[in-house]
Chains A and B, each alone.
Chain A
């Protein structure tokens, strides 16, 4: 029983970091209506930013963490300006955006391989590997930290989107860009803001993953998991993305713990296909339509 609870806690911890990635991905999707495959590249850069801030510049963890988020946010904004805005201005078909996003993703991965090299790098030890003991359960300090930090930022994001004026403007823009512009909303700024927010959270997620595992140029592939989680929860719904991520995290740890870690991804992807077939709008996806 304690083993099971421990798996759940590990799942929550991994799932909450998936959620950090999934909400940014979902936000961009809800405004731009395309899958931003460059998101993984931003996560990878976040992981490297954190690594170099801590090893080369000897920043304390908290500063390295936030600075990595900010740098990742600026990068996400830069990607939007360079790779997507010209397409938006030309009203290019969505396929062009997806191809551009894939191009950016491959570019980001390879620029790291070419400059820094393909080797795996390990973060300095920030949190002691000595687990915290509660009864006869042992919880890893890193896992606990990951969970708490992610939860705090997720709550802040959901508050921003659901309860502030700028958040309502983001929701309006995601529903209809023309109508939002007619309200006086600067939709171009909203797009930058959404890329910035998504990039910031992606940077944080990158540092957390880099800290828990290692840093390597393909670490961004982990976003595939957050895509699954976002679809699983219902694309465009932030709460859905969070719930989908946490469920995915728990399913993964339970599969690894009780079946085999070999089956982890297999089960996750089968689940995705199953959800798409049975409930295409996801767990929390809203079915809203514009009445003529």
Chain B
């Protein structure tokens, strides 16, 4: 479904991605794990057109993907960005409606709004509240709900569990699995490698701009190097 070929990205002199190859198939959860500064967010931002690559190609359904963000969204690709980036100056409901910005089917939009409220009842209660007044966890729910409003085929999630209490982390991962069951494809970037590998089908390890390992989530989780570097604490517990 989504294929990234030999992607090179630079920030001025910094070579952030050094020839990345990644593939995501229809209906999969693929996770990218890697430490701080490995280039995970850069990869997602390049796919969604926020950052322009120097070299390399991205194919979506075997067609070359546009480089312009709003056209990429129109293709059915939606990113839930790192740090949520909810529109603090707008209400929860307006945030959700902006997620459906490119859609014109009013009745269906309304239906999806009710669906999102069903998945996240907390958002329904706070419908008229300014998004900036939500707690961090509520903002994460809003960011995911807002992405769902666009009816994407593939969702790119950038560290959805960042800064959340353990109980809420479990909820978020459960919801990601539910979204998969809705028939959506997911590319998940996570620091929480243990949880991510638990729900993913396949995984890539990204280190300093290079993919150093790839395989089924099970194999990656069992890999001694990964256990030491990313799951270390868990294994000794």
> Which residues of A pack against B, CB within 8 Å?
165, 168-169, 171-172, 174-176, 178-187, 286, 288-292
Q: With a CB–CB cut-off of 8 A, which chain A residues contact B94?
A: 168
Q: Contacts A172-B87, A181-B70, A183-B101 known; A291 to B81 CB distance under 8 Å?
A: no
The answer to whether A169 touches B89 (Cβ under 8 A) is no
Q: With a CB–CB cut-off of 8 A, which chain A residues contact B136?
A: 291-292
Q: With a CB–CB cut-off of 8 A, which chain A residues contact B130?
A: 288
The answer to whether B73 touches A172 (Cβ under 8 A) is no
Q: Mark B73-115, 1 if CB is under 8 A from A, else 0.
A: 1100011010111111110001001110110000000000000
The answer to whether A184 touches B88 (Cβ under 8 A) is no
Q: With a CB–CB cut-off of 8 A, which chain A residues contact B27?
A: none
**Which residues 125-176 of B sit at the A interface, judged by CB distance below 8 A?**
130, 132, 134-136, 139, 146, 150, 163
Q: With a CB–CB cut-off of 8 A, which chain A residues contact B150?
A: 183-184
Give B36 Cβ to nearest chain A Cβ, in Å. Answer: 15
The answer to whether A178 touches B81 (Cβ under 8 A) is yes
The answer to whether A179 touches B81 (Cβ under 8 A) is yes
Residue of B nearest to A178 (CB): B50
Give A159 Cβ to nearest chain B Cβ, in Å. Answer: 16
10 A-B interface contacts by CB (under 8 A): A175-B90, A178-B85, A183-B73, A183-B150, A187-B69, A187-B70, A288-B88, A290-B132, A291-B132, A292-B83
Q: Looking at B49, B69, B85, B163, which has the most chain A CB atoms within 10 Å of its CB?
A: B69
Q: Looking at A176, A183, A290, A291, which has the most chain B CB atoms within 10 Å of its CB?
A: A183
Q: With a CB–CB cut-off of 8 A, which chain A residues contact B99?
A: 183
The answer to whether B101 touches A169 (Cβ under 8 A) is yes
Q: Does B185 contact A (CB under 8 A)?
A: no
Q: With a CB–CB cut-off of 8 A, which chain B residues contact A187?
A: 69-70
**Which residues 45-75 of B sit at the A interface, judged by CB distance below 8 A?**
48-50, 69-70, 73-74
Give A291 Cβ to nearest chain B Cβ, in Å. Answer: 5
The answer to whether B134 touches A291 (Cβ under 8 A) is yes
Tell me if A's interface is mostly helix, strand, loop or mixed.
helix
Give B71 Cβ to nearest chain A Cβ, in Å. Answer: 9
Q: With a CB–CB cut-off of 8 A, which chain B residues contact A168?
A: 90, 94, 97-98
Q: With a CB–CB cut-off of 8 A, which chain A residues contact B70?
A: 181, 184-187
Q: Looking at A176, A181, A182, which has the most chain B CB atoms within 10 Å of its CB?
A: A182
The answer to whether B90 touches A171 (Cβ under 8 A) is yes
Give B68 Cβ to nearest chain A Cβ, in Å. Answer: 8
Instruction: Assign chain B's interface to a size class.
Output: 20 to 34
Given contacts A168-B94, A182-B48, A290-B132, 20 further A-B contacts (CB under 8 A): A169-B98, A169-B101, A171-B87, A171-B89, A174-B89, A176-B87, A178-B81, A181-B48, A181-B70, A182-B69, A182-B81, A184-B74, A184-B101, A184-B102, A184-B150, A185-B98, A290-B83, A291-B84, A291-B135, A291-B136
Q: With a CB–CB cut-off of 8 A, which chain A residues contact B88?
A: 175, 288-290
Q: With a CB–CB cut-off of 8 A, which chain B residues contact A292?
A: 83, 136, 163
The answer to whether A182 touches B139 (Cβ under 8 A) is no
The 8 closest A-B pairs by CB, nearest first: A184-B73, A179-B85, A181-B69, A184-B102, A288-B132, A288-B88, A186-B70, A184-B70
Q: With a CB–CB cut-off of 8 A, which chain B residues contact A179?
A: 81, 85-87
The answer to whether B90 touches A176 (Cβ under 8 A) is no
Q: With a CB–CB cut-off of 8 A, which chain B residues contact A178?
A: 50, 81, 85
Complex: A45 Cα to B119 Cα, angstroms: 54
Complex: A169 Cα to B70 Cα, angstroms: 13
Complex: A25 Cα to B134 Cα, angstroms: 30
Complex: A237 Cα to B139 Cα, angstroms: 23
Residue of B nearest to A185 (CB): B101
Complex: A187 Cα to B94 Cα, angstroms: 18
Q: With a CB–CB cut-off of 8 A, which chain B residues contact A186?
A: 70
Give B146 Cβ to nearest chain A Cβ, in Å. Answer: 7
Residue of A nearest to B88 (CB): A288
Give B219 Cβ to nearest chain A Cβ, in Å. Answer: 32
Q: Contacts A182-B73, A186-B70 known; A290 to B50 CB distance under 8 Å?
A: no
Complex: A175 Cα to B97 Cα, angstroms: 16
The answer to whether A181 touches B132 (Cβ under 8 A) is no
Complex: A46 Cα to B198 Cα, angstroms: 64
Complex: A283 Cα to B216 Cα, angstroms: 57
